[in-house]
Structure 1
Protein backbone atom coordinates (compact mmCIF):
# COMPACT_ATOMS: atom_id res chain seq x y z
CA UNK A 1 0.00 0.00 0.00
CA UNK A 2 1.45 3.30 -1.04
CA UNK A 3 -1.01 5.97 0.02
CA UNK A 4 -3.74 6.82 2.48
CA UNK A 5 -7.25 6.73 0.97
CA UNK A 6 -9.29 8.22 3.80
CA UNK A 7 -9.02 9.46 7.35
CA UNK A 8 -11.99 10.18 9.61
CA UNK A 9 -12.53 12.92 12.16
CA UNK A 10 -15.35 13.21 14.68
CA UNK A 11 -17.87 16.06 14.61
CA UNK A 12 -21.26 16.37 16.25
CA UNK A 13 -22.20 19.51 14.31
CA UNK A 14 -21.51 19.01 10.59
CA UNK A 15 -22.29 22.62 9.68
CA UNK A 16 -19.83 23.96 12.24
CA UNK A 17 -17.19 21.42 11.19
CA UNK A 18 -17.76 22.19 7.50
CA UNK A 19 -17.16 25.89 8.11
CA UNK A 20 -13.99 25.28 10.15
CA UNK A 21 -12.39 22.71 7.84
CA UNK A 22 -13.19 24.87 4.79
CA UNK A 23 -11.10 27.65 6.39
CA UNK A 24 -8.35 25.23 7.47
CA UNK A 25 -8.08 23.54 4.08
CA UNK A 26 -8.92 26.53 1.89
CA UNK A 27 -11.63 24.61 0.07
CA UNK A 28 -15.25 23.60 0.53
CA UNK A 29 -16.42 20.07 1.20
CA UNK A 30 -16.79 17.92 -1.92
CA UNK A 31 -19.73 15.83 -0.69
CA UNK A 32 -22.24 15.59 2.13
CA UNK A 33 -24.62 12.77 2.98
CA UNK A 34 -27.02 13.70 5.75
CA UNK A 35 -28.39 11.33 6.93
CA UNK A 36 -26.30 9.52 7.99
CA UNK A 37 -24.08 12.52 8.79
CA UNK A 38 -21.02 12.28 6.55
CA UNK A 39 -19.01 15.19 5.18
CA UNK A 40 -16.05 14.80 2.81
CA UNK A 41 -13.11 17.03 1.91
CA UNK A 42 -10.44 16.19 -0.65
CA UNK A 43 -6.85 16.67 0.52
CA UNK A 44 -4.64 16.03 -2.51
CA UNK A 45 -6.46 12.79 -3.27
CA UNK A 46 -6.98 11.65 0.32
CA UNK A 47 -10.52 11.93 1.66
CA UNK A 48 -11.07 13.62 4.99
CA UNK A 49 -14.33 12.21 6.33
CA UNK A 50 -16.07 14.25 9.00
CA UNK A 51 -18.42 11.80 10.68
CA UNK A 52 -20.64 11.90 13.76
CA UNK A 53 -19.75 8.27 14.50
CA UNK A 54 -15.96 8.58 14.02
CA UNK A 55 -13.53 8.83 16.93
CA UNK A 56 -11.45 11.95 17.37
CA UNK A 57 -8.18 11.88 15.42
CA UNK A 58 -5.08 14.04 15.78
CA UNK A 59 -4.47 15.50 12.32
CA UNK A 60 -1.33 17.43 11.33
CA UNK A 61 -1.37 19.91 8.45
CA UNK A 62 1.52 21.78 6.81
CA UNK A 63 1.75 25.52 7.34
CA UNK A 64 3.85 28.15 5.62
CA UNK A 65 3.10 30.71 8.36
CA UNK A 66 2.03 29.33 11.76
CA UNK A 67 1.13 32.72 13.21
CA UNK A 68 -1.12 33.66 10.28
CA UNK A 69 -2.75 30.23 10.21
CA UNK A 70 -3.43 30.41 13.95
CA UNK A 71 -5.04 33.82 13.48
CA UNK A 72 -7.31 32.51 10.69
CA UNK A 73 -8.28 29.38 12.63
CA UNK A 74 -9.07 31.25 15.85
CA UNK A 75 -11.30 33.55 13.79
CA UNK A 76 -13.01 30.39 12.50
CA UNK A 77 -13.74 29.11 16.02
CA UNK A 78 -10.60 27.25 17.06
CA UNK A 79 -8.87 27.72 20.39
CA UNK A 80 -5.09 27.69 20.67
CA UNK A 81 -3.87 24.70 22.62
CA UNK A 82 -0.15 25.27 22.07
CA UNK A 83 1.63 28.31 20.62
CA UNK A 84 4.23 27.81 17.86
CA UNK A 85 7.46 26.31 19.14
CA UNK A 86 10.42 24.43 17.65
CA UNK A 87 10.29 20.65 17.97
CA UNK A 88 13.52 19.51 16.31
CA UNK A 89 16.01 20.26 13.54
CA UNK A 90 16.19 18.05 10.47
CA UNK A 91 19.82 16.97 9.99
CA UNK A 92 18.84 14.96 6.90
CA UNK A 93 15.79 14.47 4.67
CA UNK A 94 14.35 11.50 6.59
CA UNK A 95 11.35 13.35 8.07
CA UNK A 96 11.64 16.79 6.50
CA UNK A 97 13.97 18.97 4.48
CA UNK A 98 17.55 18.86 5.76
CA UNK A 99 18.63 22.13 7.33
CA UNK A 100 15.17 23.08 8.54
CA UNK A 101 13.77 23.39 12.00
CA UNK A 102 10.32 21.92 12.52
CA UNK A 103 7.89 24.16 14.39
CA UNK A 104 4.49 22.98 15.57
CA UNK A 105 1.40 24.60 17.02
CA UNK A 106 -1.89 23.02 18.09
CA UNK A 107 -5.50 24.18 18.09
CA UNK A 108 -8.79 22.63 19.14
CA UNK A 109 -11.36 22.76 16.38
CA UNK A 110 -14.89 23.87 17.31
CA UNK A 111 -15.75 20.18 17.93
CA UNK A 112 -12.93 19.78 20.49
CA UNK A 113 -10.56 17.79 18.25
CA UNK A 114 -6.84 18.53 18.45
CA UNK A 115 -5.31 19.73 15.16
CA UNK A 116 -1.57 20.15 14.62
CA UNK A 117 0.09 22.65 12.31
CA UNK A 118 3.65 22.06 11.11
CA UNK A 119 6.01 24.64 9.59
CA UNK A 120 9.51 23.94 8.27
CA UNK A 121 11.79 26.93 8.86
CA UNK A 122 15.22 27.21 7.25
CA UNK A 123 17.97 27.22 9.89
CA UNK A 124 20.04 30.37 9.64
CA UNK A 125 23.56 30.69 10.97
Structure 2
Protein backbone atom coordinates (compact mmCIF):
# COMPACT_ATOMS: atom_id res chain seq x y z
CA UNK A 1 0.00 0.00 0.00
CA UNK A 2 1.19 3.52 -0.70
CA UNK A 3 -0.14 7.05 -0.47
CA UNK A 4 -1.60 8.21 -3.80
CA UNK A 5 -3.17 11.61 -3.11
CA UNK A 6 -3.44 14.32 -0.47
CA UNK A 7 -6.16 16.97 -0.72
CA UNK A 8 -5.80 20.53 0.52
CA UNK A 9 -8.41 23.30 0.58
CA UNK A 10 -8.04 26.17 -1.91
CA UNK A 11 -10.58 28.96 -2.39
CA UNK A 12 -8.78 30.59 -5.33
CA UNK A 13 -7.13 28.16 -7.75
CA UNK A 14 -5.17 30.87 -9.58
CA UNK A 15 -3.72 32.18 -6.33
CA UNK A 16 -3.05 28.65 -5.05
CA UNK A 17 -1.40 27.65 -8.33
CA UNK A 18 0.95 30.65 -8.20
CA UNK A 19 1.83 29.97 -4.56
CA UNK A 20 2.41 26.21 -4.86
CA UNK A 21 4.31 26.59 -8.14
CA UNK A 22 6.75 28.87 -6.31
CA UNK A 23 6.88 26.73 -3.16
CA UNK A 24 7.38 23.45 -5.01
CA UNK A 25 9.49 24.82 -7.83
CA UNK A 26 7.20 22.98 -10.25
CA UNK A 27 4.21 23.59 -12.47
CA UNK A 28 0.81 22.07 -11.86
CA UNK A 29 0.14 18.81 -13.69
CA UNK A 30 -3.62 19.14 -14.26
CA UNK A 31 -6.52 21.51 -13.68
CA UNK A 32 -10.24 20.85 -13.95
CA UNK A 33 -12.33 24.00 -13.50
CA UNK A 34 -15.18 23.41 -13.06
CA UNK A 35 -15.39 21.70 -10.62
CA UNK A 36 -12.32 23.44 -9.13
CA UNK A 37 -9.48 20.91 -8.92
CA UNK A 38 -5.77 21.61 -9.29
CA UNK A 39 -3.04 18.95 -9.15
CA UNK A 40 0.70 18.92 -8.50
CA UNK A 41 2.96 15.86 -8.59
CA UNK A 42 5.02 15.29 -5.44
CA UNK A 43 7.31 12.45 -6.53
CA UNK A 44 4.39 10.22 -7.49
CA UNK A 45 1.92 11.45 -4.85
CA UNK A 46 -0.75 13.82 -6.15
CA UNK A 47 -1.34 17.04 -4.25
CA UNK A 48 -4.93 18.05 -4.98
CA UNK A 49 -5.97 21.63 -4.29
CA UNK A 50 -9.75 21.56 -4.14
CA UNK A 51 -12.39 24.17 -3.28
CA UNK A 52 -14.41 21.52 -1.46
CA UNK A 53 -11.61 19.81 0.47
CA UNK A 54 -11.05 20.47 4.15
CA UNK A 55 -7.80 22.02 5.31
CA UNK A 56 -5.07 19.47 5.97
CA UNK A 57 -1.72 19.78 7.72
CA UNK A 58 0.82 18.57 5.19
CA UNK A 59 4.59 18.33 5.65
CA UNK A 60 6.81 18.81 2.61
CA UNK A 61 10.40 17.63 2.38
CA UNK A 62 12.66 20.42 1.13
CA UNK A 63 16.43 20.59 0.68
CA UNK A 64 16.83 23.62 2.94
CA UNK A 65 14.07 25.25 5.01
CA UNK A 66 15.86 28.61 5.16
CA UNK A 67 16.29 28.76 1.37
CA UNK A 68 12.61 27.98 0.75
CA UNK A 69 11.55 30.81 3.05
CA UNK A 70 13.95 33.16 1.26
CA UNK A 71 12.55 32.09 -2.12
CA UNK A 72 8.99 32.73 -0.95
CA UNK A 73 10.17 36.23 0.07
CA UNK A 74 7.22 37.16 2.27
CA UNK A 75 4.53 35.45 0.16
CA UNK A 76 3.83 33.13 3.10
CA UNK A 77 3.32 33.99 6.74
CA UNK A 78 5.93 32.19 8.83
CA UNK A 79 4.09 30.60 11.75
CA UNK A 80 7.16 28.91 13.21
CA UNK A 81 10.69 29.90 12.22
CA UNK A 82 13.16 27.20 11.14
CA UNK A 83 14.39 25.16 14.09
CA UNK A 84 15.92 21.77 14.82
CA UNK A 85 13.41 19.39 16.34
CA UNK A 86 15.47 16.22 16.47
CA UNK A 87 18.85 14.70 15.70
CA UNK A 88 18.51 11.22 14.18
CA UNK A 89 20.88 8.62 15.64
CA UNK A 90 19.38 5.85 13.51
CA UNK A 91 17.38 5.67 10.29
CA UNK A 92 13.94 4.89 11.76
CA UNK A 93 12.39 8.34 11.09
CA UNK A 94 15.06 10.04 9.03
CA UNK A 95 18.65 9.65 7.93
CA UNK A 96 20.99 8.81 10.80
CA UNK A 97 23.48 11.51 11.71
CA UNK A 98 21.19 14.29 10.46
CA UNK A 99 19.31 17.07 12.21
CA UNK A 100 15.67 17.46 11.30
CA UNK A 101 14.79 21.08 10.64
CA UNK A 102 11.17 22.24 10.56
CA UNK A 103 9.31 25.44 9.87
CA UNK A 104 5.61 26.12 9.48
CA UNK A 105 4.03 28.57 7.07
CA UNK A 106 0.52 29.66 6.14
CA UNK A 107 -0.14 29.15 2.42
CA UNK A 108 -2.09 31.49 0.13
CA UNK A 109 -5.34 29.76 1.11
CA UNK A 110 -4.92 29.93 4.88
CA UNK A 111 -3.68 26.34 5.36
CA UNK A 112 -0.72 25.47 7.57
CA UNK A 113 2.14 23.73 5.75
CA UNK A 114 5.14 22.14 7.47
CA UNK A 115 8.54 22.25 5.81
CA UNK A 116 11.11 19.59 6.76
CA UNK A 117 14.79 19.35 5.82
CA UNK A 118 17.50 16.92 6.93
CA UNK A 119 20.98 18.36 7.39
CA UNK A 120 24.10 16.53 8.51
CA UNK A 121 24.63 17.08 12.24
TM bucket normalised to smaller:
over 0.9
Match of 1:44 in 2: 43
Shift of 1:73: 2.2
Match of 2:16 in 1: 17
Cα RMSD for the two superposed structures: 1.0
1:67-97 CA-partner distances (Å, limit 9, x unpaired): 110122244x211111011101111000001
Match of 2:113 in 1: 115
Shift of 1:26: 1.1
Count of aligned residue pairs for this structure pair: 121
**Separation (CA, whole Å) in 1 of partners of 2:33 and 2:73:** 27
Are residues 1:65 and 2:64 paired? yes
TM-score with structure 2 setting the length? 0.95
Which stretches of structure 1, 4 residues or more, deviate above 4 A after TM superposition?
none
